[in-house]
């Protein structure tokens, strides 16, 4: 039986400082970078709304109130957005766990995304990976002709995550920063802080033979974290409006 999107809670990691583009944003945290009249992170929420997600938690950090105040009026129809600040840097996975453990929500699965990047991929295949009871989660990969800025994913013959490759020139499937976990998989996360998905959680899960499906989608992808990529955001959203709830 498939897990329906309304039974999945999404956590958006929106706590970064945005050091490389801070001079372009002034007193705004990176996920609040204005794009086509809305903060970039609101476009992430609108993308999730189009995928059927109804509950979103923002894991906030730097200038948390700026992010949370924007979403207080619930600007995205049919999506309830709440914020959970981290008072000390917890790492990507630590921020996610802090958000998940601070809510009364008890979803069947958790979806994790970044607040400063987006792959506008249909998520149905990622959700359906959990139709197989032996699969504990999934990760979204996006093929890229030059993956040197991101590093790439390794898969085994079954299409499951086998590891991460270091950044190097050439083509590969990059980690799009979109993860899906069954609720009980969170118990397998290492007990340490700060906690990183890439360097702590995924190596520990793979080492424990926890099976994670790699779903590769040839989807438009943008990370707004550099002075070169941030100006591309306007066209990225405009060219992909069909993927957002408006």
pLDDT per residue rounded down to tens, the chain (246 residues): 679 999 999 999 998 765 777 777 777 888 999 999 999 999 999 999 999 999 999 999 888 999 999 999 999 999 999 999 998 989 999 999 999 999 888 999 999 999 999 999 999 999 999 999 999 999 999 999 999 888 899 999 999 999 998 888 899 999 999 999 999 999 999 999 999 999 999 999 999 999 999 999 999 999 998 999 999 999 999 999 999 999
Dihedral of CA atoms 17, 23, 26, 32 in degrees, nearest 10, equals: -50
Q: Where are the domains of the chain?
A: 5-243
> What architecture is domain 5-243?
Alpha-Beta Complex (3.90)
Provide the angle, in degrees to the nearest 10, between the axes of the packed helices 64-71 and 40-50: 50
Q: In the prediction, which pLDDT does 10 show? A: 98
Q: In the prediction, which pLDDT does 180 show? A: 98
User: Which two tokens mark 73?
Assistant: 């009026």
Q: In the prediction, which pLDDT does 27 show? A: 79
Among 135, 242, 220, 241, which Cα is nearest to 179's? Answer: 135
């Amino acid at each position: 039986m498939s897990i329906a999107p309304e039974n999945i809670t999404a956590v958006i990691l929106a706590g970064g400082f945005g050091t490389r583009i801070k001079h372009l944003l002034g007193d705004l945290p990176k996920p609040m970078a204005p794009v086509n009249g809305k903060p970039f992170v609101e476009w992430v929420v609108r993308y999730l709304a189009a995928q059927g997600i109804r509950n979103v938690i923002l894991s906030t950090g730097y200038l948390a109130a700026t992010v949370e105040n924007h979403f207080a009026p619930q600007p995205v129809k049919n999506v309830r957005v709440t914020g959970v600040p981290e008072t000390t840097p917890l790492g990507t996975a630590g921020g996610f766990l802090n958000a998940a453990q601070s809510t009364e929500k008890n979803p069947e699965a958790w979806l994790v995304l970044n607040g400063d990047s987006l792959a506008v991929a249909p998520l149905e295949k990622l959700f359906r990976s959990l139709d197989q009871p032996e699969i504990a989660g999934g990760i979204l990969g996006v093929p890229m002709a030059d993956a040197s800025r991101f590093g790439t994913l390794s898969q085994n013959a079954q299409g499951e995550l086998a590891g991460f490759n270091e950044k190097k020139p050439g083509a590969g499937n990059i980690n799009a920063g979109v993860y899906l976990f069954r609720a009980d998989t969170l118990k397998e996360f290492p007990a340490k802080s700060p906690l990183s998905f890439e360097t702590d959680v995924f190596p520990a899960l793979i080492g424990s033979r926890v099976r994670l499906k790699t779903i590769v989608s040839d989807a438009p992808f943008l990370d707004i974290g550099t002075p070169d990529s941030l100006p591309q955001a306007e066209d990225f959203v405009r060219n992909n409006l069909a993927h957002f709830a408006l």
